[in-house]
Amino acid sequence: MAALTREETQNLIQEVLAVYPEKAKKDRAKHLMVNDQSVDVAKKCITSNRKSLPGVMTIRGCAYAGSRGVCWGPIKDMIHISHGPVGCGMYSTMGRRHYANGTTGSDIFTTINVTSDFQEKDIVFGGDKKLKAIIDELETLFPLAKGYTIQSECPIGLIGDDIESVAKVKGAEIEKTIVPVRCEGFRGVSQSLGHHIANDTIRDWVLPTREGKDDGFEKTPYDVNILADYNIGGDIWPSRMLLEEIGLRVIAQVPGDGTLAEMEKSIHAKLNLLHCYRSMNYVSRHMEEKFGIPWMEYNLFGPTKIEASLRAIAERFDDKIKEGVEKTLAKYKPQWEAVVEKYRPRLEGKKVMLYVGGLRPRHIIGAYEDLGMEVVGTGYEFAHNDDYDRTIKEMGDATLIYDDVTAYELDEFVKKIKPDLIGSGIKEKYQFQKMGFPFRQMHSWDYSGPYHGYDGFAIFARDMDMTLNNPCWKEMKAPWLRPLATEVQAA
Amino acid sequence: MPSVMVRRSDEGKLLFYVAKKDLEEVITAVEVDTAEEWGGEVTLGDGEKFFIEPISPPPTFPTTLRFKRVE
């Protein structure tokens, strides 16, 4: 199907919105837009980071998910205590596939779900005593843990437990970092506020620990931090390899496969490389102001973006790095060209619709374009205005952009636009597969990955081909929708 | 009285960032911008205006300052 014109897309939005009651229609209309590359400021055409409309299905998470699952979860040598009832912790442990090197129980704890399992009596009498007991118990069970974070679930904020005082008292007692995080799920409109809260706790409880002290760290002019790469399916490893290959020294990976010590020494870096702008720009801004570390966004999805990003990074350093970049680009050129040569003919001209979290809807566009595919619709669960500012330039004119799209709207858009591939989360996966659309789960790379760097691009291309050209999609028609004759014949 | 972080963009322009408001805009004009003082009425790219008592000596950016909204 040919790409829609501006008018057609506009009509499509109106058509889909038509079923809503007047008030809901007015609200949702603000969250949908037809892309116009000439616009600089997204807030004129799209509203984002607002409370989801009640009564329609949203795919968003909560502040706890943003902190426990996203920002703090991957820090591997700390134990993250899900403080509250048992469920939240259960559903946020390792479902995201943030890989970590190490042995569970000795140097990594990301695979363990630790929860205070609140009961009625804890709600009535408060859970601080229980929290202290838990930390003591964990000290006995896992003496090698480098620290703890206390991730509050909703009841903690409601009953007003003082987790900060517990953190201070116990932290002094056991001489470890204990970070209380006030990330109760009811805060904010989506997981985005959880990221912000988690960033603030990194600022307040982790970064100051080595500030102004001589920790014997030997600096080099090429020290960088990788910020906000979560190592989904191992993403950070090819990223790190590339950065090291061009001559930089990565001193901290925060938080993917990262440690507490790395976070503490991140204040010594020369540059912060920020992958997911949405989730960790807050701490980058703080580090710029407080420690004078500039930050920049970069993108390692697909060869075009890798080239642009590495060159942009090199601009911040001397000729040694610039040479390193050119050498690295030349080295990998045959590798990615072979990938493009193999998969491009199979994927050329295919249309993709994306609906992911806060970064990928714009970051992976380049990788699709390298394979000759076109992204015809994109949207974020929890992005803010600044994300849409960045998206408008990445997307083609007259493409569809949707913010916090409801299950119904996404369904209808897909039915009308009929993309060749959909990339979204687990909650959309089976619905679209049953509708007969090839689908990739783009939050956790559909149990594949890594997708970053040149090595990741090869896997990305293979996965997209494997899904899109799978013969099963034709067979997905529901039995009652099949022509009767074939049924009879089969019988 | 929003708490505003002012920093320089890659192009050297001043950026006005309010975390709570999710606002990041280029500063297009500053009323007082001399070697001794910085401040006064500040105009943003989208036309909004904010005010800060001129600071002497001028602050080094990035920094966080408290501005007043000009109606």
Query: Cα-atom radius of gyration of chain B, to the nearest Å?
Result: 11
Q: pLDDT tens-digit profile of A183-216?
A: 999 999 999 999 999 999 999 999 999 988 888 8
Report chain B residues whose CB lies below 8 A from the CB of A285.
Answer: 5, 7, 17, 19, 62
How sure is the predictor about A219, in pLDDT bands with cuts at 50, 70 and 90? very high
Residues 6+ apart with CB under 8 A from A341: none
| CA dist., res. A304 & res. A68, Å (int) | 33
Q: Are A298 and A289 in contact (CB under 8 A)?
A: no
Tokens 């950070």, located at residue: A236
- Tokens read off for B35: 């070697």
**Is A176's pLDDT higher than 90?**
yes
The per-residue pLDDT for A489 is 60
Report chain A residues whose CB lies below 8 A from the CB of B22.
Answer: 49, 384-386
Mean pLDDT, to the nearest integer, of A257-265? 94
The per-residue pLDDT for A439 is 95
**Is A452's pLDDT higher than 70?**
yes
A65 catalytically annotated: yes
- Tokens read off for A118: 């609140």
| CA dist., res. A109 & res. A73, Å (int) | 10
Locate the chain B residue with the closest alpha carbon to A312.
B10
More confident residue, A41 or A285: A285
- Tokens read off for B50: 């904010």
Phi and psi angles of residue A398, each rounded to the nearest 5 degrees, phi first: 65, 15
Instruction: Please name the member of B7, B24, B46 whose beta carbon is closest to the beta carbon of A288.
Output: B7
The per-residue pLDDT for A419 is 95
Longest Cα–Cα distance of chain A, Å, equals: 81
A145 catalytically annotated: no
Angle (CA) A347-A352-A353 rounded to 5° is 165
Residues of chain B predicted below pLDDT 50: none
Same topology, domains A1-60+349-491 and A223-325? Answer is yes
**Is A320's pLDDT higher than 90?**
yes
**Is A478's pLDDT higher than 80?**
no
How many Cα atoms are found within 13 Å in the side-chain-facing hemisphere of A464? 35
pTM above 0.80, yes or no: yes
Answer CATH for A64-210 from 3.40.50.1980, 3.40.190.10, 3.30.110.70, 3.40.309.10 = 3.40.50.1980
Least reliable range by pLDDT among A86-100, A133-147, A207-221, A420-434: A86-100
CB distance A385–B23 less than 8 Å? yes
Q: What percent of chain A has pLDDT over 90?
A: 82
Cis peptide bond upstream of A483, omega within 30: no
Q: pLDDT tens-digit profile of A139-172?
A: 999 999 999 999 999 999 999 999 999 999 999 9
Locate the chain B residue with the closest alpha carbon to A292.
B62
Please pick, among A195, A196, A362, A440, the residue that the annotation labels catalytic: A195
CATH number of A1-60+349-491: 3.40.50.1980
**A195 close contact with B: CB closer than 8 A:** no
Q: Is A435 helix (H, G, I), strand (E, B) or coil?
A: coil
In angstroms, the separation between the Cα of residue A288 and the nearest Cα of chain B is: 7
CB distance B19–A282 less than 8 Å? yes
Q: Which residues pair with A151 in a beta bridge?
A: A82, A181
The per-residue pLDDT for A90 is 87
Across the beta sheet with B14-18, what order do the strands follow? Answer: B63-66, B3-8, B14-18, B23-33, B38-44, B49-55, B68-69
| CA dist., res. A244 & res. B16, Å (int) | 34
- What domains lie within chain B, and their CATH numbers? 3-69 (2.40.50.240)
Q: Which of B7, B22, B65 is the best substitution to test chain A (most A C-beta atoms within 10 A)? A: B22
How sure is the predictor about A490, in pLDDT bands with cuts at 50, 70 and 90? low
**Is A1's pLDDT higher than 50?**
no
Instruction: Please name the member of B10, B46, B63 whose beta carbon is closest to the beta carbon of A289.
Output: B63
The per-residue pLDDT for A483 is 75
Mean pLDDT of chain A: 92
CB distance A288–B17 less than 8 Å? no
The per-residue pLDDT for A222 is 95
Residues 6+ apart with CB under 8 A from A303: A332, A336, A340, A370, A454, A457
A62 catalytically annotated: yes
Mean pLDDT, to the nearest integer, of A406-413? 94
Least reliable range by pLDDT among A224-233, A310-319, A475-484: A475-484
CB distance B5–A49 less than 8 Å? no
In angstroms, the separation between the Cα of residue A92 and the nearest Cα of chain B is: 27
Mean pLDDT, to the nearest integer, of A284-293? 93
Per-domain boundaries in chain A: 1-60+349-491, 64-210, 223-325
**Is A341's pLDDT higher than 90?**
yes
Q: pLDDT tens-digit profile of A368-398?
A: 999 999 999 999 999 998 899 889 989 988 8
Longest Cα–Cα distance of chain B, Å, equals: 31
A286 catalytically annotated: no
Give the CATH H-level superfamily of domain A223-325.
Answer: Nitrogenase molybdenum iron protein domain (3.40.50.1980)
Conformational region of residue A75, where left means phi above 0, alpha means psi within -120 to 50, and beta covers everything else: beta
**Is A261's pLDDT higher than 50?**
yes
Angle (CA) A177-A181-A182 rounded to 5° is 155
Mean pLDDT, to the nearest integer, of A276-291? 93
Instruction: Please name the member of A285, A288, A386 whose beta carbon is closest to the beta carbon of B22.
Output: A386
